Structure 1
């Protein structure tokens, strides 16, 4: 059982034992016994319209294996020397990260801001600052590179995943395609920014991984997002909690799920966390097939599996997996949504008249719910199925709420035709204009005793842990409260059943 004080934002001690979730390996337990530090956090951050011109960088790949090289590209203003401190993110006695080494100093220069290309693409072609070969002994995880400049005090991040091939209980996927879709670097060049007229869901805007991550622009003002995408907002509390409680977890990126490097046949449970909106049809099909083969899956998020993206698109260097663009929506567009879109400026031009290349299969049939319009708001997570095994040990009764847990995006409309699907929590989310719409958290059984859980909120991981550096969001006149023992227990119940 996971224990802690509901609503308490501090770090608490877990009483989870190996008997609660028998693990295949003690790799994560041993890793987290090593000395941690809070020095992974940025101390001095300077942003100008989302970017940090004084120091910024990006990596040549989203993930890398032990023995492989990853390129790090850095620009500074003025030209200077830069050191790169690499940290693995985890629990580490509540510190949240472990220092893996310092690289450099390296001579850097002010590298060019790329011109606006076709489809508004901003694709950097910077000189590589350093190539790091991943050493033996680096455990799979999410790694932050803290960039520090000799010419001034300002700092920024680069981010990448170290993956492995070992058998493990759980794989935590980073939602990096969505990080990139919302990345405005250098200034208003996210997938949602367009030339006039405003076309928020245009199929003609493209974005590139070959650029730094700018300061995150939605629902939470988080300086630590400078260069780190959305990881520290949504996935990090999940990572911290899993490693705190000794779960046997490995890590992969969206790209790894797409191209098969995630190795879904070696794990028991797959976690999609936070803001995981942009999927390729290959990702969908791999997860769908894996569920059919007995994989447990938890969508601990909202607004997931919404837009289809063809990740085989090549960049100018001929490399795949570096460009994100929309080709359609999973499940297409319902007639009800069409009627709503017609009245919304900036949406109707795209959703109703854009010539999509390809819609994907049903979001709801995979996730257990779908994104409806308007797909945002805030609300309480209200229990409606207190007899379900998922709620064991929580003490919750029907009608009881977890305040503010639903937001800012969620899932609704549980599908018909999914055998055994049950609604666990449901209610309304509200917006500042007084309007509301329903959400539903669901669970359904797979064909081999496995399960698929849809928590129906981006904020779920914030109920698990409050690591150093995490800032709670505020959106649509509502906010989650942070750590809640009931969220912890529900998650632990799902994982225990998944790992039996």
Structure 2
């Protein structure tokens, strides 16, 4: 793989995973070894000839856990150039409801759907819960492109998944496999339920879609970060889309870039028996859930894009006594708008005009418009989180803990200044002294970790916890690597597991 291709992939994916570009974590049925160079999880991009790369790939290893999983064979991941099999569906459905899968099969052959629920399941990471019969496949029409907005809303429904009332709410993945067993792709979705629970887990589907470059074909795909010009060159934000559609598959393997951070938390939390309900960020935006009915809201992964209704709902929940747990960094950075799609279905278009227009206060995205940095609108993230985005971390560095007398660090064995290796990674937050803080009755900075940015300038990361006047705790980890430390092989840290348990246990006991 040439250096040019490596740079192209890194910029195109904006790889914020701790070890692998997709940040998927250990999802056994997805991690066919024919997709990776080595055990660090470096994925072979779509433009690499897999035949030439075979000498770099590790041999498959048989484990007792693997032998207990469904024998799915070794199909290769579908890509966006060949489009061997790709699909999408609504991001969430209710127990007792249904989910319509829209699938395009390149050769028009039949395909199957295997459905998995994410969880601990004895370390397997997921459980196989349903399988389709062979489904007739068809070559769907090419995506529609309006400006740089790509949509597949006109695809025909291929198969309807009925969701039984006895299923558990949670995060699910539909695995699509061609009948010849040569290619595979994925559709993630959430199953909701109107149930009481201690904690509500909110999956960041708005942010996932902002990063979605589908189709990653060197021609038509676009995200809020990138698009291609007529020569197949990847453009940055100045040439990216300002509106993207939820009505399209995810690029590459069919999974969002940062989905593994959520899965890391889910596996750990379900292993230890926390009482969880599940929903998506779009559910929060649309008012389909009442966040005030839970003791805590958990934001498990990168959650950068927030609409005004999302922020208002979370602020109201905090003020009513619902605690907030932010396990990543660069949260609530951009304000976005959600609008109806081409068929009139609500909240299918995501708009964020970003820096292209924010310099003009009177233009689109300027002061008084809806789609710029929250801090530029006079509502910095720190007003809610207690800290806010500081920048990217080029290489993982240790987190240096502080205030270890605090109950959050109880039982971890940590002392002030102790390092937790590699825990500051991807991106970081810190306290900004010149930015107003939220109202609080108590507040603690739990880490202060120096690092150097890409230009060699000294920076630092901080972890924050405060208690709002209404009794809610608000925790912000200030790093991408916190969730992987809970349940990702090679990154798991028992001290971070214990600190997170201390936090959730305290929240679940708050009256």
Which TM-score applies when normalising by structure 2?
0.77
Unaligned runs of 5+ in 2: 1-24, 28-66
Deviations 1:287-340 (A, max 9, x none): 1100000001110001111111112x1111011121111156xxxxxxxxxxxx
1:473 is aligned to none
Deviations 1:15-60 (A, max 9, x none): xxxxxxxxxxxxxxxxxxxxx9644988433354x5661111100x
Q: Match for 1:325 among 339, 351, 356?
A: 351
Q: 1:423/1:214 Cα in 2 relative to 1: closer, same or farther (>3 Å)? A: same
Q: Match for 1:160 among 183, 189, 198?
A: 189
The DSSP-based 3-state class of the residue aligned with 1:171 is strand
- Which is worse superposed, 228-237 or 193-202? 193-202
Residue-pair matches, total: 424
2:497 is aligned to 488
What is the root-mean-square deviation of aligned Cα atoms in Å?
2.7
1:44 is aligned to 75
**Structure 1 position 213, deviation (Å):** 0.7
1:138 is aligned to 167
**Structure 1 position 157, deviation (Å):** 0.7
2:400 is aligned to 382
Q: Match for 2:359 among 336, 345, 352?
A: 352
Cα pair 2:222 2:241 within 8 Å, conserved: no
2:278 is aligned to 251
Q: Match for 1:236 among 263, 269, 276?
A: 263
1:219 is aligned to none
**Structure 1 position 148, deviation (Å):** 1.1
The whole-number CA distance in structure 2 between the counterparts of 1:39 and 1:263 is 37
Q: Match for 2:437 among 410, 417, 432?
A: 417
1:462 is aligned to 484
1:92 is aligned to 121
The whole-number CA distance in structure 2 between the counterparts of 1:446 and 1:379 is 31
Cα pair 2:224 2:243 within 8 Å, conserved: yes
2:130 is aligned to 101
Q: 1:165/1:421 Cα in 2 relative to 1: closer, same or farther (>3 Å)? A: same
Deviations 1:140-190 (A, max 9, x none): 001111111113421111111000111101111111111111111102411
Cα pair 1:76 1:149 within 8 Å, conserved: yes
> Is residue 483 of structure 2 the alignment partner of residue 452 of structure 1?
no
The aligned runs of 1:467-482 (5 Å cut-off) are 481-482=490-491
The DSSP-based 3-state class of the residue aligned with 2:482 is helix
Cα pair 2:223 2:240 within 8 Å, conserved: no
> Is residue 419 of structure 2 the alignment partner of residue 401 of structure 1?
yes
Unaligned runs of 5+ in 1: 1-8, 12-35, 216-225, 329-346, 468-480
**Structure 1 position 204, deviation (Å):** 5.5
Q: Match for 1:190 among 206, 223, 227?
A: 223
Q: Match for 2:301 among 268, 274, 298?
A: 274
**Structure 1 position 376, deviation (Å):** 6.3
2:97 is aligned to 68
**Structure 1 position 436, deviation (Å):** 3.5
- Which is worse superposed, 379-388 or 289-298? 379-388
**Structure 1 position 205, deviation (Å):** 2.0
**Structure 1 position 448, deviation (Å):** 3.0
The DSSP-based 3-state class of the residue aligned with 1:265 is helix
The whole-number CA distance in structure 2 between the counterparts of 1:317 and 1:42 is 38
- Which is worse superposed, 316-325 or 110-119? 110-119
The whole-number CA distance in structure 1 between the counterparts of 2:163 and 2:410 is 42
The whole-number CA distance in structure 2 between the counterparts of 1:199 and 1:369 is 28
Cα pair 2:74 2:181 within 8 Å, conserved: no
The whole-number CA distance in structure 2 between the counterparts of 1:378 and 1:435 is 15
2:12 is aligned to none
The whole-number CA distance in structure 2 between the counterparts of 1:117 and 1:458 is 34
The whole-number CA distance in structure 1 between the counterparts of 2:501 and 2:71 is 28
The whole-number CA distance in structure 2 between the counterparts of 1:306 and 1:376 is 19
> Is residue 86 of structure 2 the alignment partner of residue 56 of structure 1?
yes
Cα pair 1:42 1:156 within 8 Å, conserved: no
Cα pair 1:113 1:124 within 8 Å, conserved: no
The DSSP-based 3-state class of the residue aligned with 1:143 is strand
Deviations 1:397-454 (A, max 9, x none): 1111111111201212345433333211112233444233222111100223320000
Q: Match for 2:244 among 200, 203, 207?
A: 207
Q: 1:396/1:52 Cα in 2 relative to 1: closer, same or farther (>3 Å)? A: farther
The DSSP-based 3-state class of the residue aligned with 1:421 is strand
**Structure 1 position 373, deviation (Å):** 4.8
**Structure 1 position 127, deviation (Å):** 0.7
The whole-number CA distance in structure 1 between the counterparts of 2:381 and 2:325 is 14
Cα pair 1:83 1:147 within 8 Å, conserved: yes
The whole-number CA distance in structure 2 between the counterparts of 1:456 and 1:290 is 21
The whole-number CA distance in structure 1 between the counterparts of 2:327 and 2:461 is 14
2:51 is aligned to none
**Structure 1 position 115, deviation (Å):** 3.5
Structure with larger RCO (C-alpha < 8 A, sep 6+): 1
